[in-house]
A = this chain, B = another copy of it.
Amino acid sequence: MKKSLTTICYRFFTNLANPTRLAALEQLMIKPMSVSELAQILNQEQSMISHNLKPLLQCNIVTIQKKGKQRIYTANKQTLTPIFTAIENHAQNFCPTGGACLKEENP
């Protein structure tokens, strides 16, 4: 890992380390959609969705395209698919019960 990668990783992981943003990405992995559609599906305020999409956009974890008044956000699958796959593998190999990594809960 090159020195600068730590910085990039930090921004990247910080970006993903948020339940709202992960839930939004989960939806966007299914299909591109607008802010208000996301807000409706996730049952969150529009401003919250906007606030949370902003850093994802800044890191190109999502992209945007205008469609009339709407902004359609699209997940960057090229980046996200391998990462989610890696975590799925980790979960399978190292968190067999889905919560086994919570060692404090099963000592």
Contact = CB atoms under 8 A, between A and B. Distances in A.
Interface of A: 1, 4-14, 16-19, 22-23, 26, 29, 57-60, 76, 78-79, 82-91, 93-95, 98, 101-104
Nearest to A98: B4
Contact of A22 (B6, B59, B103, B104): B6
A54 B21 CA distance: 25
Nearest to A88: B5
* Nearest 10 CB-CB pairings of A with B: A13-B17, A60-B94, A17-B17, A13-B16, A82-B86, A79-B90, A14-B17, A59-B101, A83-B86, A8-B91
Given A17-B17, A78-B93, A101-B60, A6 B23 contact: yes
